[in-house]
Structure 1
Amino acid sequence: MSELGDKGFRQSQAFLHTWSGLLLGWLLFAVFVTGTIAFYREGLNRWMRPELPPVTQPAQVLAGAQRYLAATAPDAKSWFITLPSTTTQGALVSWRPQPVEGETPRRGGRVTIDANGHPAMARETRGGEFFYRFHFDLYYMPALWARWLVGIAALFMLVAILSGVVTHKKIFRDFFALRRGRGQRSWLDGHNATAVLGLPFHLMITYTGLVTLMVTLLPWATLAAYSDDGEAYYDTLYPAGVQAERTGRPAPLVDLTAILRDAEGRLGGAAGYMEVIEPGDAGAKVRVLRSGATMLSSRTPRMTYDGATGKPVWIAPPQGAGSATAGAMIGVHAGRFANDWLRFIYFLCGVAGCVMVASGLVMWTVKRREKLPDPTRPHFGFRVVERLNVAAIGGLPLGIATMFWANRLLPVGMAGRAEWEIHCLFIAWGAASVLALVRRPQANWVALFALTGVLLLALPLYNLVATPAGVVATLGRGDGTLAGIDLALLVFGVAFLAIARRVARHRAVPSRVRRCIDTSSELAMEPAE
């Protein structure tokens, strides 16, 4: 390919990179931020319920869960138990009542069993689960629509990454050139550095994110194979084995802790979930699934026990190659298998991804302002993008900090408390967006980042004096997860204040008038994207 042809190709990829990154960049930023936070969702579940003691004996929690369910829902159709571990807040249990013919199915209940084996007496909150669900289900809209939006955004992200690699001819050399105080050049250097630093991660997380949504985005193979029978598809993918049939003969349920010990030995790792079908009946069955935290694949092995005798009656056959591959990709995306250090690397790469998206959005305005006939009086479309950047990049972190404060300050017994924590996030984000429309962007950047920094810095201090889970207490008992969250809040608080100070001190440098001889030299005169 000739040099001119190479330049033309790179120019076309630069156009693709720019617009694929911009059109859904604000949604991508929100998905990256909440997805990055979700790597520590179990820790946030605990941090947002500081009244709960840490779990030290998971078997004691499971025994308490069995006692509670036997007393509360002895005749239920099924029980479902999310098994506890030393990293969780306890055991999450729920049940489904027996259906009554001719009546609308009744709703069951849901409760958390704490470390002492009792129903948790703690504030209602969605905790870290909100961030996990938001990064692919969003909020205030049907989940199917949200997944299509997120899937399209992820596809745009993949296009932006691949076209960016082609466009940035000297990307790896530029990674080592981080120039400060150079305006557009500095933004480009920062964008390149975060992109190259986490390039394998960005490619992996985007592609595997699309894999997790493949049935939603590409349903035709499933429809062709299963004739629109969703139950048959899921039965094939997640076989249930021996079915439980109610006999009408009462029979006590065996000790679930004994079943758990046996199942973990047979499955080769710690169990994550347990389901009891027809408890209290002679036909009861107990299903046990291995935890996704113990293996790469999210489609973990399972087995079934007789609930009356405790004997194993079925174990799932090995998965096919397609299912195993998809399960491994989903597992890599979620990172549940990761140990503490690998999870921390996931988190750092996620932060780099957030910076990459944010710097790319800001760089769009920085580059185009220099090309405007009058940079001090930009056109309407430019002003819209500039203010949307402020609303998305400055507003979402403020909303998250507000949600954390709502978790601490809303009355513990407040009705709909968990939903109002989330409402507070969107109210603060909405207020920041309105502010972005009526004030100058630079003033907004400073105000939003500074306020976010102050709120984040104050949270660990509040925890020290008002909760039993302050950083001193958690470090004293060796609870690195909760202490790490408080320390992370301090670090991010300082970072936001530093950014606010830097933006406040920034003074725009008048752009130089550049002359061009012919259009073929345009690419050479502009910095590489």
Structure 2
Amino acid sequence: MKNGFRQSMAWLHTWTGLLVGWLLLLIFMAGTASYYREEISRWMRPELPRSTVSADDAAARAITFLQHKAPLAESWNVTLPDTRNPAMRMFWRNPESMVKPPVEGEKRRRRGGGRFGDATVDPNTGQEVTARETRGGDFFYRLHFDLHYIPVVWARYLVGFCAMFMLVAIITGVITHKKIFKDFFTFRPQKGLRSWLDFHNVSAVMALPYHAMITYTGIVTLMFMYLPWGVSTAYPKDEDAFFSEAFARMADIESPGQGTAIALPIQQLMDSARRQWNGAEVAGFTLYRPGAANAVIDIQQRDGKRLSVDTPSLRFNAVSGELIEASPSAGGATATRGVMYGLHLARFADWGLRALFFLSGLIGCLMVASGVVLWAVKERPKHAKSGKTGFGLRLVDALNIGAVAGLPIAFAAYFWGNRLLPTGLAERSDAEINVFFYAWAASLLAAFIWPKRLMWAWQLYVGAAMFALIPVINAMTTHAHLGVTLLQGDWVLAGFDLVMIAFAAVLGYCGLRMQRWQPALSAAEKKRRQQAAVATEASA
């Protein structure tokens, strides 16, 4: 620690940011991409058609499909299409008597042959769609708090540890920069260390409320995992009861079906829900005991302008249409937690606000990246005096190149894998994820072998080329390319390709700047060169 409060805060700010900076950059980049999770998933499944029918028509086709596909299922769950996700996703739970015994040596049970089945259906026709297997944008969503290749519990503790360090770095950063608002308007290019510090300050202050909100709410989303003792103390024998009461859930349906009856048309049940919600739209429904006289249906409200992630549900008697119950009203603590979670996920955001969240996330990535680079820039003059680069600086340089320049390569490689891997490849979604990590590992290995300035430029150029070629590969392998999507006004697919081109341009520009960049001369070096110039003139 240092003498003086602000000096101590500066020391704490530096080390809390540096120690987790590279993993934090991965979390920030994956989390930022998750704002367009649905759009990424749609681009990565180009076989899915656009929905041109109403939610009522789509729901009716879903019921017809399930009556033929899973007539004996215990429950049906349907997610209706919307502007961000054009296909219907449905799941069903089969009775235990229908579960087929596992085949020896079989890694994955055939879809629908186990206790649970699922399908993706075209809402326009009611027919099942055969689309390539992929995690899509869900990979980035899970990556930013579950990481990969390590146990989920350990990953979430590690992410929470990084989030706490990030929160400390934000607080100490505000304390350290007493002229924080003046620094926001100050940027001095071509000044070496001063330029990096200015850039870090600007990127930190520009979206400071967002950085504080996203870090704190990220910790809140997993608070019961990080602080489980209160729940286990109050509910020592049944922790599930706590979550049912705290999160205002309706009771689970467990009793079996009785008799047979025909349920009311789904459109009539959805209209009843809309009237209860004063016109709010339906996101989907779960029908329990389909075909039975005691069938019930839970209808979920679509995310709209609600800040809370906890959206209302209604339970109806599916045969008579009688309202059985509504999801209980949330208490103050539950409502607060729902709003915190909702702010983190931003499901309430329309296209403009979502874009603002996305840009704020990108600024957060720049803040973290500039922070870890700034440490290396500060340390380099100290090592230059001794005439050799120490292990610590070499390690940081390699990690900086592999994370800041290498992660964009990995993201682009993930999209390449989606288009170039055979569509019938077994475990295809896992293969796409492996491509992501293989590309990142190659970038890190190259950085460790030669952690020099030109390696920065080369990796930035590689990332730019890979992003620029994504629309080209898309045009060569699918019919959902810019030449089609722009004419059709399909701005989800067209926007994805255009954003890839924009990323390519930014990375290419950064690579060019890095290639031409010359470190600023120290005061001692400037003085030495001036003296040499004077001596040369005198001798002449």
Instruction: Give me the TM-score of the superposition, normalised by structure 2.
Output: 0.90
- 1:216 aligned partner: 225
- 1:380 aligned partner: 391
- 1:123 aligned partner: 132
- 1:263 aligned partner: 273
Give, in whole Å, the separation in 1 of the partners of 2:252 and 2:41: 34
Q: Over residues 126-152 of structure 1, what are the superposed CA-to-partner deviations in whole Å (9 max), with x where a residue is unaligned? A: 111111111111111222211111111
Check whether the contact 2:250–2:328 (CA below 8 A) recurs between aligned residues.
no
- 2:537 aligned partner: none
Mapping of 1:243-282 within 5 angstroms? 243=253, 245-268=255-278, 269-282=280-293
1:177 aligns with 2:174: no
- 2:118 aligned partner: 110
Deviation at 1:321, TM superposition (A): 0.7
Task: Classify the secondary structure of the residue corresponding to 1:79.
Answer: strand
Task: Classify the secondary structure of the residue corresponding to 1:139.
Answer: coil
Residue type of the alignment partner of 2:512:
R
Task: Classify the secondary structure of the residue corresponding to 1:80.
Answer: strand
Task: Classify the secondary structure of the residue corresponding to 2:115.
Answer: coil
- 1:97 aligned partner: 94
Give, in whole Å, the separation in 1 of the partners of 2:275 and 2:514: 57
- 1:509 aligned partner: 520
Give, in whole Å, the separation in 1 of the partners of 2:281 and 2:386: 61
Residue type of the alignment partner of 2:359:
L
- 2:538 aligned partner: none
Check whether the contact 2:250–2:326 (CA below 8 A) recurs between aligned residues.
no
Give, in whole Å, the separation in 2 of the partners of 1:378 and 1:312: 73
Q: Over residues 107-134 of structure 1, what are the superposed CA-to-partner deviations in whole Å (9 max), with x where a residue is unaligned? A: 3122211242221122111111111111
Give, in whole Å, the separation in 1 of the partners of 2:487 and 2:275: 34
Check whether the contact 1:77–1:99 (CA below 8 A) recurs between aligned residues.
no
Task: Classify the secondary structure of the residue corresponding to 1:239.
Answer: coil
Residues 1:286 and 1:354: Cα distance change in structure 2 (over 3 Å): same
1:14 aligns with 2:10: yes
- 2:431 aligned partner: 420
Task: Classify the secondary structure of the residue corresponding to 1:111.
Answer: strand
- Among all aligned residue pairs of Structure 1 and Structure 2, give the percentage whose two residues are the same amino acid: 41
Q: Over residues 14-58 of structure 1, what are the superposed CA-to-partner deviations in whole Å (9 max), with x where a residue is unaligned? A: 011011111111111011001111101111111111122212223
- 1:517 aligned partner: none
Give, in whole Å, the separation in 2 of the partners of 1:395 and 1:265: 52
Task: Classify the secondary structure of the residue corresponding to 2:120.
Answer: strand
Residues 1:258 and 1:477: Cα distance change in structure 2 (over 3 Å): farther
Deviates more, 1:367-376 or 1:197-206: 367-376
Give, in whole Å, the separation in 2 of the partners of 1:336 and 1:196: 25
Deviates more, 1:391-400 or 1:267-276: 267-276
Residues 1:302 and 1:382: Cα distance change in structure 2 (over 3 Å): same
Residues 1:229 and 1:511: Cα distance change in structure 2 (over 3 Å): farther
Mapping of 1:11-50 within 5 angstroms? 11-50=7-46
Deviation at 1:259, TM superposition (A): 1.9
Residue type of the alignment partner of 1:324:
A
- 2:348 aligned partner: 337
Check whether the contact 2:21–2:372 (CA below 8 A) recurs between aligned residues.
yes
- 1:240 aligned partner: 250
Among candidates 37, 50, 55, match of residue 54 of structure 1: 50
Deviation at 1:472, TM superposition (A): 3.7
Give, in whole Å, the separation in 2 of the partners of 1:130 and 1:184: 37
1:393 aligns with 2:404: yes
Deviation at 1:92, TM superposition (A): 1.2
Give, in whole Å, the separation in 2 of the partners of 1:252 and 1:395: 58
Task: Classify the secondary structure of the residue corresponding to 2:92.
Answer: strand
Task: Classify the secondary structure of the residue corresponding to 2:39.
Answer: helix
Deviation at 1:375, TM superposition (A): 6.5
Deviation at 1:367, TM superposition (A): 0.6
Residues 1:85 and 1:307: Cα distance change in structure 2 (over 3 Å): same
Task: Classify the secondary structure of the residue corresponding to 1:372.
Answer: helix
Residues 1:377 and 1:260: Cα distance change in structure 2 (over 3 Å): farther
Residues 1:375 and 1:70: Cα distance change in structure 2 (over 3 Å): farther
Deviation at 1:200, TM superposition (A): 0.5
Give, in whole Å, the separation in 1 of the partners of 2:337 and 2:514: 44
- 1:79 aligned partner: 76
Residues 1:376 and 1:397: Cα distance change in structure 2 (over 3 Å): farther
Among candidates 303, 306, 311, match of residue 300 of structure 1: 311
CA RMSD of aligned residues (A): 2.2
Give, in whole Å, the separation in 2 of the partners of 1:409 and 1:333: 33
Deviates more, 1:356-365 or 1:377-386: 377-386
Check whether the contact 1:299–1:327 (CA below 8 A) recurs between aligned residues.
yes
Residue type of the alignment partner of 1:337:
F
Mapping of 1:407-446 within 5 angstroms? 407-446=418-457
Give, in whole Å, the separation in 1 of the partners of 2:524 and 2:123: 68
Give, in whole Å, the separation in 2 of the partners of 1:103 and 1:487: 47
Deviates more, 1:167-176 or 1:258-267: 258-267
Residues 1:368 and 1:242: Cα distance change in structure 2 (over 3 Å): closer
Deviation at 1:418, TM superposition (A): 1.2
- 1:288 aligned partner: 299
Among candidates 66, 71, 77, match of residue 69 of structure 1: 66
Unmatched runs of 5 consecutive residues or more in structure 1: 1-5, 515-529
Residue type of the alignment partner of 2:19:
L
Task: Classify the secondary structure of the residue corresponding to 1:292.
Answer: coil
Residues 1:126 and 1:266: Cα distance change in structure 2 (over 3 Å): same
Give, in whole Å, the separation in 2 of the partners of 1:102 and 1:414: 26
- The aligned length equals 509
- 1:3 aligned partner: none
Mapping of 1:464-503 within 5 angstroms? 464-503=475-514
Among candidates 447, 462, 475, match of residue 458 of structure 2: 447
1:144 aligns with 2:153: yes
Give, in whole Å, the separation in 2 of the partners of 1:377 and 1:242: 67
- 1:521 aligned partner: none
Residue type of the alignment partner of 1:89:
P
Check whether the contact 2:454–2:515 (CA below 8 A) recurs between aligned residues.
yes
Residue type of the alignment partner of 2:79:
T
Give, in whole Å, the separation in 2 of the partners of 1:277 and 1:374: 74
Deviation at 1:464, TM superposition (A): 3.8
Q: Over residues 77-122 of structure 1, what are the superposed CA-to-partner deviations in whole Å (9 max), with x where a residue is unaligned? A: 2222222212213111111221359999943122211242221122
Check whether the contact 2:461–2:507 (CA below 8 A) recurs between aligned residues.
yes
Among candidates 85, 88, 93, match of residue 88 of structure 1: 85
Deviates more, 1:321-330 or 1:310-319: 310-319
Give, in whole Å, the separation in 2 of the partners of 1:208 and 1:247: 42
Deviation at 1:281, TM superposition (A): 1.6
Residues 1:310 and 1:375: Cα distance change in structure 2 (over 3 Å): farther
Q: Over residues 216-243 of structure 1, what are the superposed CA-to-partner deviations in whole Å (9 max), with x where a residue is unaligned? A: 1111122122215232122212422474
Task: Classify the secondary structure of the residue corresponding to 1:88.
Answer: coil
